[in-house]
Amino acid sequence: MTAVPLPARAATARIAILNSDNPEPLGSLLRKSLRGLGYREGETLEIEFRLANGDAAALPGLAAELVRLKVDLIVAYLTPAAVVAKQATRDIPIIMMGAGDPVGSGLVASLARPGGNVTGTSATTSEAGTKILGVLCDIIPSLKRAAVLTNATDPFTPSFLGQAKRAAQLLQLDLRTVALHSGSELDPAFAGLKNDKVQAVLVQPSLPRDKVAELAIRHRLPAIAPTRSFAALGGVAAYSPNLEEIAQRTAVIVDKVLKGARPADIPVEQPTRFELVINLKTARSIGVEVPKSVLGLADEVID
């Protein structure tokens, strides 16, 4: 693919944001970062938003619609959106925002030289998978048996599950895995976790986080996810990349592509800053006493 630069900064760039799930603050943070680079919505920038609301089946239709609109580039949030966007077009540049394991998911050939029409930012590092289960162990020192809830339709799942299993082995945890194909399977899944005496749950971020958080509270199961919004929705904790950093780095890549750089030549960027958020209100409501040492390490405590 040959990238065609905009004639001048005064020209209007038309980009799209294809979102797999809850927009979180990332959409607004990306827009803020683009403003910082000199773009003005309604003047030099137009943004088309397409939100799947957690329905993976809706993504192909939304991606096809954006291709028909002939936008200058597509920003795809989370792995499912990035994979579907890549399937929809080989010509329009695709900028991943917070995708998981882009190499393992087949989105890019390598982080250093992506190839094709896809580049952007990843939300994972090799250490992050171990760290998030370690946080659960810190919150619950007696933790012996945990579960990981995965999204069976997410291309990132094999990598996410592999990281969780390796971490569980290092931490000497008995880890049960539950693959979910739709939100309707969540209720029976949580009932099964309680019957199996699971003490805590790790949640893949592309699952319906609000529903998972609600069920975790109802079943009095401490739950953690690698996305900041999960703690705000009622999860006991979240350990995730700094959203501002992801948005800023994504905006810089968007700017480079709009100026004519080829996605194939722009390295994929990984996060360097992670944040721990503890929902102390949820912890108290389900009978979990978070150690003071953990609270002292938290970047934010919701109380």
Q: Which of 3-7, 20-24, 170-174 has the highest mean pLDDT?
A: 170-174
Mean pLDDT rounded to a whole number for the chain = 90
pLDDT at 2 over 50: no
Q: Per DSSP, what are the bridge partners of residue 276?
A: 239
Question: How far is residue 114's CA from residue 176's CA, in Å, rounded to a whole number?
Answer: 34
Number of H helices, E strands in the chain: 11, 12
Are 94 and 74 in contact, with CB atoms under 8 Å apart?
A: yes
Local structure of residue 125 (DSSP, 8 states): -
**For the residues 10-32, what does the mean pLDDT come to?**
80
- Superfamily for domain range 13-124+242-273: Response regulator (3.40.50.2300)
CATH 3.40.50.2300 fits 128-240+275-302, yes or no: yes
Are 237 and 139 in contact, with CB atoms under 8 Å apart?
A: yes
Of the candidates 202, 229, 205, 226, the one whose C-alpha atom is nearest the C-alpha of residue 27 is 229
pLDDT at 125 over 70: no
Of the candidates 125, 214, 138, 136, the one whose C-alpha atom is nearest the C-alpha of residue 175 is 136
Distances (CA, A) of 135 to 153, 218, 297: 26, 22, 10
pLDDT at 281 over 80: yes
Give the number of other CB atoms < 10 A from CB of residue 32. 14
- pLDDT, tens only, 201-233: 999 988 888 899 999 999 999 999 998 889 999
pTM as predicted: 0.83
- pLDDT, tens only, 92-108: 999 999 888 899 889 99
Angle between helices 26-36 and 243-258 (to 10 degrees): 50
Confidence of residue 6 (pLDDT cuts 50, 70, 90): very low
Local structure of residue 262 (DSSP, 8 states): -
- Residue 126's pLDDT is what? 52
Domain boundaries, the chain: 13-124+242-273, 128-240+275-302
- Residue 22's pLDDT is what? 62
Are 97 and 77 in contact, with CB atoms under 8 Å apart?
A: yes
Confidence of residue 138 (pLDDT cuts 50, 70, 90): very high
Chain position carrying tokens 């405590």? 301
Are 138 and 284 in contact, with CB atoms under 8 Å apart?
A: no
Of the candidates 294, 250, 291, 299, the one whose C-alpha atom is nearest the C-alpha of residue 95 is 250
Confidence of residue 176 (pLDDT cuts 50, 70, 90): very high
CATH topology agreement for domains 13-124+242-273 and 128-240+275-302: yes
- Residue 259's pLDDT is what? 95
Of the candidates 137, 107, 159, the one whose C-alpha atom is nearest the C-alpha of residue 291 is 137
